Amino acid sequence: MSYQNATSELNVGSQPGPKNPQRTEGSTQYGDYGSALLENHLSVGDFVKIQSAFESPEPRQTVSMSREEFVQKMKEIIVWGTEKDYQELFDKVDVARDGFINWDKLTSFMLLELYEKDERAKATVVPQWKALEFLPVKHKDTIQKVIFLKSSSRYLTISKEGLLGIWGENLTLQETLPVTSDVTKLKHLWVTSLVSLENVNKIAVAFTSKEIYFYDLLSKEEFPCQYKLQGLKATPICMDYWYDPLDANESILSFGDITGKVQAISFTAALISLFERPPSACEDEDNTMTIDWAELLSGYHKCCYILEHKLHHGDWVRQVAYSASLDAIISSTTSNTNTVVLAWREKSKKHLKMTSFNISQGIHAFDYHSQLNLIATAGINNKVCLWNPYVVSEPVGVLWGHSASVIAVQFFAERKQLFSFSKDKVLRLWDIQHQLSIQRIACSFPKSQDFRCLFHFDEAHRRLFISFNNQLALLAMKSETSKRVKSHKKAVTCVLYNSIWKQVISSDTGSTVSFWMIDTGQKIRQFTGCHGNAEISTMALDVNETRLLTGSTDGTVKIWDFNGYCHHTLNVGQDGAVDISQILVLKKTILVTGWERTITVFRPQNFNQSFIQPEEWKGGVQHRDDILCVAFLPPQTLATGSYDGEIVLWNNSTENAHHALHPDYQRLLKSKLDAEPHKLLSADRNSSPTPTADQVTLRAYPSEVDTEGNNAVMRLCFLVARKNIAVTEGANLVSCGGSGYVRFWDTFKKQLLAEFLAHSGAGSIIMSIDKLNRYLVTGDLDGWVKVWNIEDYCLNSSQNKVTQPPPLIRSFQPHEDRISCLEMCELWGRSLIISSSADCSISVTDVCSSPIWSFGQAKHWQIENCISLPKRDTNLLESEIQEKSIRTIPLLSKEELCLDPTEHSLLDKKNKEDSTDNVRASEDINLGMKYKARNCRKKKTHKLYDGKVIQKTSSAFRSLTIGALKELPEVNKPAFLLDPEKYFQEEPEEECPQIPELPPLSETLKAVFDEKNLFPKEILDHERRAKQLCQETSGEVKLKRKKKQL
């Protein structure tokens, strides 16, 4: 038999840094000791000791130390440093060379050092980006602007033809609305710009008709236009809006036109009204107030005034912006004279004062950083220049690197970095301090000479939008993981818990499987290259937890032992690459789902080779979209969830589906086997794999498939611990997935009992539930985890759907990227949560408020000492007894594997756990032969116990009332204790009476025995006639044979 071994690595868990057993008080959980400098190794406990050394016995006095005194004190307090390290630290603190330092000088130095270190780290961090993604826009013309509305957490995009796109925070297109009327469409007018008036919940749109429309976002109508500003002398082509966060009444709307004029409307009472109602103003049918520009210039509107200048002299104003820190309006053109103009208004003066920058060949765009006080310009001459606003003669820095004209620049303000985008579709990221390019990305846009590009970086969400005519691309920044512990080198895809060995098993996209001790966090084993270079998407354990199943994108599922030996390879994808989402191991089958509408099944009794082909699932295709998850409820209920939100219920014994559930409808499924029993014998085995269900609609359901995945079922969990749910008519199935919703179902009544939003705006979520069904844990795409108490949730049915969520116990963020897998386990009487993420980390904590530990951190933990043990209650006692009973009788487990027998369990191989780097191949094992023997043992065990042990241990412990015991009254000693001789003395032996011998049967038999007398006469006659008929027919056959021979 051919086999494959995975490379195994052993990590002894060595810990870097100074080896001092006392340095545990202030150490971080990540164990990152940084550089070799002494100050980077000092912990909080060390600083407390140093502070005590500087304390004076007299109040309000400080102690100063010389160089020699400081070195001697540090030797006594810190112990682990060297004399040279202490001397260098003293010299750094004593900047003035006074020869003495005190506690204030030391703390000032440390704070300044940490601040500079943090700033240097931010400036040099190179962001990691996700793959370039094109958003499904409906714009047919050039996209002019992308903005984000903080008040409603939505994005707006607008194109030249006047189509406004409204996007959710998760970038799903919610709605598209036209902002142009039928009249403007006939005039072939274009939209030139869009700005958001956040303080008054409005947007302003500029048109080529020399008009600016103001739309109200809070109106109940579709999209009403509240103000229409008309009478402008030229077409505005760029706009900007600013408001004072301390006084939202103060705001400025600035815009530039095609004649080189820069104009600004300064509002003084924006929260009350943008404009006053003039006598000549008239409202049309849409309640739109028309404002004439001449009225604004005349000063009629007391709530605003106008500022303007014409220094650009007829050149198109490409960009305009108001800077609050400079209190100036910045504008730019493509001309080489007066390229950038700063205009400001002095107090008590109506006219603007101006200064300008002359830049060779002009610029396309600019951006201003208030903290650095720098203006960055995107030059047509391929250069990015950095300017001090007060020095117009020459730039303070020039960034070289682009080979084509730069068309956009924008600061990454938090990190003090700069983005630039050139006409050859190359994106660069610059370190401003060192004026170096730290990242270059070539974007894959269609090749075209004539195109209009829009560049917008949403710093709050770390999203970069780049438009190419009517296409909109997204570059999303990955969460920073440089400062976090990485459990794997690549994104973690799945995590499991082995309760026998108290180990956590994890897999990643690099086809690596790692084993960790949960009580310390130490890595003890690692298998690399399990599926070559293909990603491991999911894993599963058998019920004995002695075999590991790994599913990969290469289309195979492999069965491993814990020594790295691959026993079988299941050909799930039929020699093709597929996306496996879940593996479910049952008593007689292994079910695999994820990439198609049907279930792929393997039957282990047929495992007589190393490479196994799938078998036919009798139920055929019942889903209308790909199956993503599956769950099993003993004895025979199977549930599968698909991408379109449907949950199909199956009978696992017959493999037939009987119901389909959906949040909006349900379907009754009748299989072909039940509908046409008389056609079974003549059925063609090579029939089409199309759905064989006659769909009887119980409630109307939509025919369109949910292509957005808003109802996608990502996880299914049966509430197995709820024993009497059929009587109480409560929920016994939980589902979660798209849009962040969790739903509770009653599979007996085929009813949706509860639905609540667990994670708002986080997209798709996953979940896990503990064995006793007390806690529900959910995780989202942003790395957040929530713990819910569902012990008393939906225990009874109700007529109306419950929308109130269960009690929220805890909400925390253990990861900075998508939660890929959640697992719950019981350890030392506490429920622990194990989570894995795409940020390459694995974390563990409990359901309450314990710290979060990360697997792979340098400092190992002692989780038993960190988690306080609660008092033992009846629920805990019940769970322990139930776990022991389940291990005693494997037949009654909820999800059972019939693979490898228990003789090859790892319980017999403890001495092999301490093996070093490489694991050798074990003996070849035929799982198919062992399966029959194991089934025989299970049948005998089932007859012996008859399931009574499980039923007794799961009975009503919770119904017992536990209280203080009453004192018992004094009880007199019984008589047998007072006089034992009377009751326990030996009685005299009596002779046993002799039993008389029976006479022999021949002497007592009165008549001859005839067996025919035992049967009725009718039976004897029937037998006699049958013998005669047989003799006659045999005689006739002999005569016929003789005649043929003659």
Q: Is the pTM of this model over 0.85?
A: no
Single-letter residue type at 622: Q
Single-letter residue type at 215: Y
pLDDT digits (tens, 9 = 90+) for 447-482: 665 678 889 999 988 999 999 888 999 999 887 655
Those residues whose C-beta lies under 8 Å from the C-beta of residue 456, and which sit 6 or more positions away, are 146, 147, 410, 464, 465
Cα(63)–Cα(101) distance, rounded to whole angstroms?
Answer: 9
Model confidence at 324: pLDDT above 90? yes
pLDDT digits (tens, 9 = 90+) for 684-736: 333 333 444 444 344 444 444 455 667 899 999 999 999 888 777 899 999 99
Would you give the distance in Å from CA 83 to the centre of its chain?
50
Cα(1034)–Cα(662) distance, rounded to whole angstroms?
Answer: 69
Short-list 858, 849, 841, CA closest to 23: 858
pLDDT digits (tens, 9 = 90+) for 75-85: 888 777 788 88
Asked if residues 454 and 465 have their Cβ atoms less than 8 Å apart, the reply is yes
607: left (phi over 0), alpha (psi -120 to 50) or beta: beta
Those residues whose C-beta lies under 8 Å from the C-beta of residue 178, and which sit 6 or more positions away, are 162, 163, 164
Cα(780)–Cα(740) distance, rounded to whole angstroms?
Answer: 8
Query: Which of the four pLDDT bands, split at 50, 70 and 90, describes residue 757?
Result: very high
Name the pairing type of β-strands 808-812 and 785-789.
antiparallel
Single-letter residue type at 607: F
Model confidence at 796: pLDDT above 90? no
Cα(914)–Cα(618) distance, rounded to whole angstroms?
Answer: 46
Model confidence at 915: pLDDT above 70? no
Helix or strand holding residue 505 (H, E): strand 503-508
> Which one is predicted more confidently, 874 or 103?
103
> Which one is predicted more confidently, 479 or 648?
648
> Which one is predicted more confidently, 896 or 311?
311
Those residues whose C-beta lies under 8 Å from the C-beta of residue 558, and which sit 6 or more positions away, are 4, 530, 531, 549, 550, 552, 566, 568, 569, 570
Query: Which of the four pLDDT bands, split at 50, 70 and 90, describes residue 1006?
Result: low
Average pLDDT estimate for 843-864: 86
What pLDDT is attached to residue 310? 92
Helix or strand holding residue 376 (H, E): strand 374-379
What pLDDT is attached to residue 605? 86
pLDDT digits (tens, 9 = 90+) for 237-255: 999 999 999 999 999 999 9
Single-letter residue type at 41: H
Short-list 395, 273, 373, CA closest to 323: 373
Query: Which of the four pLDDT bands, split at 50, 70 and 90, describes residue 577?
Result: confident
What pLDDT is attached to residue 121? 61
297: which 2 tokens?
């210039």
Which residues is 355 bridged to in the sheet? 342
Asked if residues 428 and 437 have their Cβ atoms less than 8 Å apart, the reply is yes
Query: Before 634, cis peptide (omega within 30)?
Result: no
pLDDT digits (tens, 9 = 90+) for 7-39: 444 333 333 334 333 333 333 333 333 345 677
717: which 2 tokens?
């969990």
Average pLDDT estimate for 1018-1022: 81
> Which one is predicted more confidently, 183 or 209?
209
Query: Which of the four pLDDT bands, split at 50, 70 and 90, describes residue 595?
Result: confident
Among 28-37, 558-567, 935-944, which range has the highest average pLDDT?
558-567
Inter-CA distances, 439 with 134, 412, 431, 490, Å: 21, 13, 9, 21
Asked if residues 254 and 239 have their Cβ atoms less than 8 Å apart, the reply is yes
What pLDDT is attached to residue 47? 83
Average pLDDT estimate for 899-906: 37
- pLDDT, averaged across the chain: 79
Query: Which of the four pLDDT bands, split at 50, 70 and 90, describes residue 112?
Result: confident
Among 418-422, 484-488, 519-523, 758-762, which range has the highest average pLDDT?
418-422
DSSP 928: H
Count CB atoms within 10 A of the CB of residue 846. Answer: 20
Calculate what percentage of the chain has a pLDDT beyond 90: 43
Alpha-helical regions (H) of 15-132: 44-54, 67-77, 83-93, 103-124
Short-list 343, 334, 365, 193, CA closest to 263: 343
User: Would you state the torsion angle of the CA atoms of residues 652, 658, 663, 665, taken in this order, to the nearest 10 degrees?
Assistant: 170
Short-list 842, 776, 890, 908, CA closest to 485: 842
What pLDDT is attached to residue 233? 92
Model confidence at 945: pLDDT above 60? no
Model confidence at 803: pLDDT above 90? yes
pLDDT digits (tens, 9 = 90+) for 117-142: 666 666 557 888 888 889 999 998 89
> Which one is predicted more confidently, 267 or 480?
267
pLDDT digits (tens, 9 = 90+) for 155-204: 999 999 889 999 998 898 988 988 875 554 545 688 999 999 999 999 99
pLDDT digits (tens, 9 = 90+) for 406-420: 999 999 988 889 999
Single-letter residue type at 206: A
What pLDDT is attached to residue 719? 95
3-state helix, strand, coil in the chain (%, to 5): 20, 35, 50
What pLDDT is attached to residue 49? 84
Short-list 825, 803, 822, 826, CA closest to 812: 822
User: In residues, how long is the chain?
Assistant: 1046
Model confidence at 263: pLDDT above 50? yes
User: Phi and psi dihedrals of 883, rounded to 5?
Assistant: -65, -40
Which residues is 331 bridged to in the sheet? 320, 341
Model confidence at 664: pLDDT above 70? yes
Cα(702)–Cα(707) distance, rounded to whole angstroms?
Answer: 13
